[in-house]
């Protein structure tokens, strides 16, 4: 049995010492990959937001997949730092995350509002495209309509957040509708 082991080991190790030859040139074969810069294409997961909205998805990156999945479809509107802290507390207390939720700050000081939701789907990638944005300063109302899009034939269970900062909107009624 030991003899077979040592013969197999010797066979495998000989490949480490062979110097492959390109028989067409008679020179040692050296593969040098050509380096070409990757084309600069826009990230398919990021779509431009209207000028009156700020991408705030990074603020929610500390929420685990399980908690985001559980909260999918619910719209959250946070107008104060205290509401934001309580939101993180809900995620921690849900027991869905293996570790404490990492908290990322959002600046509410100028009357900015943090609003968003998570959607779930099956595919390779997912994104939200804002299809309509209305801000009615007279009636103090904001309406955001978005499309949730999954792409690819992968059988991955996806959770994608749509979180925006809305400047100077503390006393506005805010609706987010995702189709």
Domain that holds residue 137: 54-178
Q: For residue 2, what pLDDT is reported?
A: 55
pLDDT in tens, 11-68: 444 444 444 444 445 544 444 444 444 444 444 445 677 778 999 999 999 999 999 9
The predicted model scores a pTM of 0.72
Q: For residue 30, what pLDDT is reported?
A: 42
Kind of pairing, strands 27-28 and 113-136?
unpaired
**Which residues neighbour 66 within 8 Å (Cβ) at sequence distance 6 or greater?**
96, 97
User: Domain for residue 44, yes or no?
Assistant: no
Q: What average pLDDT is seen over the chain?
A: 82
According to DSSP, the residues that pair with 178 across neighbouring strands are 146
CB 56 within 8 A of CB 170: no
Q: For residue 97, what pLDDT is reported?
A: 94
Backbone angles phi and psi of 75, in degrees to 5? -90, 130
Q: For residue 8, what pLDDT is reported?
A: 47
Any alpha helices (H) in the chain, and if so which ranges? 2-17, 65-71, 81-93
User: Domain for residue 164, yes or no?
Assistant: yes
Could you please report the per-residue DSSP string of 25-63? TTEE--------PPP----TT--PPPTT-EE-GGGGTTS
Q: For residue 4, what pLDDT is reported?
A: 54
Q: For residue 51, what pLDDT is reported?
A: 77
When pLDDT is averaged across residues 126-134 and rounded to a whole number, the result is: 94
As for how many domains the chain has, the answer is 1
User: Domain for residue 170, yes or no?
Assistant: yes
Q: For residue 5, what pLDDT is reported?
A: 46
User: Domain for residue 30, yes or no?
Assistant: no
User: Domain for residue 144, yes or no?
Assistant: yes
Burial of 121 (0-12, 13-18, 19+ CB in 10 A): middle
Q: For residue 46, what pLDDT is reported?
A: 52
User: Domain for residue 48, yes or no?
Assistant: no
User: Domain for residue 105, yes or no?
Assistant: yes
Cα 170 from chain centroid? 27
Q: How far apart are CA 72 and CA 160, in angstroms?
A: 9
User: Domain for residue 35, yes or no?
Assistant: no
């Amino acid at each position: 049995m030991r003899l077979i082991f040592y013969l197999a080991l010797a066979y495998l190790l000989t490949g480490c010492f062979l110097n492959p030859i390109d028989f067409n040139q008679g020179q040692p074969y050296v593969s040098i990959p050509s380096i070409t810069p990757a084309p600069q294409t826009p990230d398919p997961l990021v779509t431009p937001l209207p000028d009156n909205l700020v991408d705030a998805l990074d603020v929610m990156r500390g929420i685990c997949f399980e908690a985001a999945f559980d909260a999918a479809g619910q719209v959250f509107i946070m107008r104060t730092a205290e509401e934001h802290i309580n939101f993180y507390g809900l995620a921690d207390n849900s027991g869905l995350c293996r570790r404490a939720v990492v908290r990322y700050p959002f600046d509410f000081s100028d009357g900015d509002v943090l609003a968003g939701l998570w959607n779930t789907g099956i595919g390779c990638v997912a994104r939200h495209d804002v299809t309509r944005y209305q801000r009615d300063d007279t009636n103090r109302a904001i309406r955001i309509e978005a499309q949730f899009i999954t792409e690819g034939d992968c059988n991955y269970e996806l959770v994608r957040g749509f979180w925006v900062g809305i400047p100077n909107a503390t006393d506005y009624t805010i609706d987010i509708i995702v189709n």
